[in-house]
Amino acid sequence: MRLNDQVAVITGAANGIGLAAAEIFAREGAKVALADYDEDTGKMRAIELQEKGYEVAFFQVNVADRKSVDEMINGVKEYFGKINILVNNAGITRDAMLHKLSHEDFQKVLDVNLTGVFHCTQAVLPVLMEQGKGKIINTSSVSGVYGNIGQTNYAATKAGVVGMTKTWAKELGRKGINVNAIAPGFIATGMTAKVPEKVIEQMKMMVPLGRLGNPDDIANAYLFLASSEADYINGTVIHVDGGIMM
């Protein structure tokens, strides 16, 4: 198993990409902490995975709140005894054209998508440094690399994640900690489920593979970066987008 006896914290794990990653990681031998703001759904998902024989547990967290993050990380360390992998997967959207984007929606997305990544990474860092080895995987987006209409806030956070990833890779590499990021394209999740079908078809036409990605496509990329196969990959942003930005 590629993650045998590893302990992974995955934020935003109650649904979508995070849930897919939790199951794939557990299937590959990891003990997984499902961290999410949605307590009811998170607990239900943990039970479902436990019934499949996986060693998982749910931890409620608001990644935008540092106290909540510290409590979550401490809880995971106490429960599993260690932490080897952090996947900063949690994210939200509040899309609007610039002239209609409220300050509240701009700030909310920054608090979760950017500051949340900072909180979780800084909180887990002492554990990884003490062990002398670890993997940190951040979630950017093609929107953060190329921009996207109506996503000033989202694109800004995902561009920021790229900058933090490369900075941390330089800071932490000699401490045995790899830091990388995934930049998903259009993925069929709860976020895209709200998009009109006409727009979905237009999105598919933009992708050379002719389809949206699915959560497993991203989760498998997380798995690769978390595994020993990626031990010499550091500071990289892997695009998993069907070739949309070639």
> Catalytic one among 37, 54, 154, 222?
154
Q: What is the DSSP string of 146-180?
A: H--TTBHHHHHHHHHHHHHHHHHHHHHGGGTEEEE
Reduced to 3 states, what is the DSSP secondary structure of residue 207?
coil
Q: Do residues 42 and 58 touch, judged by C-beta distance below 8 A?
A: yes
Q: What's the CA gap between 212 and 230, in Å, rounded?
A: 26
Decide if 154 is catalytic. yes
What is the Cα 42 distance to its own chain's centre?
16
Cα separation values, 28 from 51, 223, 227, Å: 16, 9, 10
Say which residue the tokens 């259009």 belong to.
186
Structure tokens at 200: 């979905």
Q: What is the side-by-side order of every strand in the sheet holding 134-139?
A: 56-60, 31-36, 7-11, 85-88, 134-139, 177-184, 237-240
Question: Which residues belong to the active site?
Answer: 154
